[in-house]
Structures are given as C-alpha cells and as structure tokens.
Amino acid sequence: MAKVRVATMWFSGCAGCHMSFLDIDETLIDLAGMIELYNSPLTDLKTFPEAGADVTLIEGAVANEEHLHLARVAREKSKIIVALGDCAVTGNVPSLRNGMDPDQMIEGIYGKPATSNGELPYEVVPHLLGRVRPLSEVIPVDYFLHGCPPPASLIAKAVLALVQGKTPELAGADLKFG
C-alpha cells in the first residue's frame, strides 16, 4: 500500500500542538509505517512539496502574510486540511492582539528598526495582518481538532482515521476548547 503523504505546518502558535502530536507515543510507530511525513517543522523543509499532501495538519492562527500565503498553497496542494488546535480553530491566544494596531505594537515591543531606511526588512520578515484570523476564515478546512493543545489521544484518533481513508468521528468531549 502506498504511504499516505502527511504534512504539518506551524503558523502563529506555541508548537504545543506539535508537541501533543509527538505525545501519541507508540502510535507514532504504527503511523511511521503508514505515512510519509512531508513538509513539517519537524523536517524543516522550507517550501511545501510540489507533489502535494494527502493530509495537512495546520497548527496556529493566521497572523501574517506568509501564513496567509502558505495556507492557500497548502489548501491547493492538500486533499484534506485539518485545523490542529484552538489557535487554528478559533484564533485563540494570538487573537488577543486584535483591535490593536500592528505597527504600533511592533514598535512598542521591539523599538524602532535599526535599519538604514528605518523600516523592518519586509523582504524576509512578513507583514503582520491587521487582525489574527482562524484558519477557516481564509481557506476551507475539513476537520477541526479542538484543545490547547488537542489531547494526544484525539490527534492519534483523528490522524489514524484519516490516513486509513476514514472520517474521524469527532463528538462530545472531543470538541472541548481549551
């Protein structure tokens, strides 16, 4: 059986969802035989693979222009998109900045940029979006894994179902935020 191509991405989040993914313990061994892990913070690939992915899990909210771009690329090149964790599902903690001016915030936190033109090097540092958005506000999302982070058992259940071509049954306590 051909291995299922799985990608994971990390937008505006704390990496806790990826940690929880690694917390699925021995299920990782089962998964390893079934999946090929593509683009992921764990593999440190910088671009989304041209060949595309069967399942892409995205942690974090959409907070800057790069996230927005990558979300669209991921949607185009993935069969199934999973919003992994509350930041991707609702905006969660990163969304607390909504209502504040991003430029003022950057100056307030980092001070004035020490560059010759007085601007941040935007060719490598992406612009912040005016407001942080949940993933489903920018691309269609197929499944939502709630939790901050989602419990390892929930991630295991969902990913195992998806790589076997099944619909993950998410109900009741699976839908608990926080």
Partner 1 sequence: MERITVKIDGRDIVTSPGRTILEVARENGIRIPTLCHLDGLSDVGACRLCIVDVRGQLVTACTTRVADKMEVLTATETVQAYRRTILELLFAEGNHICAFCVSNGGCELQDLACELGMHSVRVPYAFPRHRIDASHPRFLIDRDRCVLCGRCVRVCAEVEGARTWDFAERGSHARVITDLDVDWGDAASCTSCGKCVEVCPTGAIVRKGASNGEMRKRPEVVAGLKERRKHG
- Which chain residues interact with partner 1 by CB under 8 A? 83, 86, 89-93, 95-96, 98-99, 131, 133-134, 136-137, 141, 143-144, 146, 148, 170-178
- For the CB of residue 30, give the shortest distance to partner 1 in the complex, in Å: 26
| Minimum separation from the CB atom of position 45 to partner 1 (A) | 28
In the bound state with partner 1, the residue whose beta carbon lies nearer, of 34 and 75, is 75
Of 35 and 148, nearer to partner 1 (C-beta) is: 148
Tell me how far, at minimum, the Cβ of 51 lies from partner 1, in Å.
28
Contact between 21 and 155 under an 8 Å Cβ cutoff? The reply is: yes
Distance CA 21, CA 24 (A): 6
- Specify the residue, 93 or 152, whose C-beta has the smaller distance to partner 1: 93
How far apart are the C-alpha atoms of 108 and 27, rounded to whole Å?
44
Nearer to partner 1, 33 or 172 (CB): 172
Q: Which residues contact residue 140 at a Cβ distance below 8 angstroms, ignoring those fewer than 6 apart?
A: 75, 81
Residue pair 161/155 in contact by the 8 Å Cβ criterion = no
CB within 8 Å of 135: residues ≥ 6 apart: 11, 58, 61, 62, 71, 81, 83, 88, 89, 141
Nearer to partner 1, 31 or 81 (CB): 81
- DSSP assignment of 17-58 equals HHHHHHTTTTHHHHHHHHEEE-S-TTTT-SS--TT-EEEEEE
Q: Measured from the CB of residue 3, what is the shortest distance to partner 1 in angstroms?
A: 28
Minimum distance from residue 173 beta carbon to partner 1 (Å) = 6
